Amino acid sequence: MASSSNIDASNSSDDEAWEQSVDDHNRQLDRIIEDVVIHAASLSVQPTNHAVRGRMRYIERRREIGHEGVFEQYFSEDPIYPPEYFRTRFRMRKPLFERLMNKLVATDRFFQQHPDAAGHLVIKFVEGVISNFGAEYLRKPTEEDMTALLHIGER
């Protein structure tokens, strides 16, 4: 029994030492947290040179003028630029673009131009191209495609 009471005494002293150690650590953490909070509170907020963001202002981008310019350059009866310039600028042949455009206008009312709330003509092109031509043009290249592309690249 004497050894049992020694074990109990040593366990209780170990427990007390452990609790004292935990209390010391807690006090140290409390001091650190207080220092951080006091330091953070003492920092003054520096004013920035940026203006406070208000409501976004409307910028007239003159889309109609841009449309008229592209139409005059590439689609009018007597265009300014030849078709190969269209391919350089838009990365597709002009007949392909016209085929895509005509198909979209014919199959989806959304692509038929009509004025939006601001009175501008609305055109939604990319999503329609993907939905109508994705399987044909937006597929992964085949081995034959890769061989042809590599051959073109070598030239």
C-alpha angle with apex 118: 60 to 107, nearest 5 degrees? 115
Task: Write the pLDDT tens digit of every residue in 93-137.
Answer: 888 888 888 888 888 877 776 676 777 667 566 667 778 877 777
- 90 torsion bin: left (phi>0), alpha (psi -120 to 50), beta (else): alpha
Residues 35 and 103 in one domain: no
Residues 88 and 142 in one domain: yes
- What is the number of domains present in the chain? 2
Q: Is the pLDDT of residue 43 over 70?
A: no
Count CA within 13 A, CB hemisphere, residue 42.
Answer: 6
Q: Alpha helices, DSSP H only, in the chain?
A: 2-42, 63-70, 83-90, 94-107, 126-137, 143-154
Residue 137: the pLDDT is 74
Residues 35 and 76 in one domain: no
Residues 84 and 116 in one domain: yes
Q: Residue 9: pLDDT band by 50, 70, 90 thresholds?
A: low
- The structure tokens listed for 143 are 């081995």
* Amino acid residing at 19: E
Q: Is the pLDDT of residue 47 over 70?
A: no
Q: Which domain does 25 fall in, by range?
A: 10-40
> Is 4 contained in some domain?
no
Q: Is the pLDDT of residue 79 over 70?
A: yes
> Is 57 contained in some domain?
no
Residue 115: the pLDDT is 72
Residues 92 and 131 in one domain: yes
Residues 78 and 138 in one domain: yes
Residue 41: the pLDDT is 64
121 — phi, psi (to 5°)?
-75, 135
Q: Among 2-6, 79-83, 117-121, 132-136, whose mean pLDDT is lowest?
A: 2-6
Residues 93 and 148 in one domain: yes
Residues 78 and 26 in one domain: no
Residues 16 and 80 in one domain: no
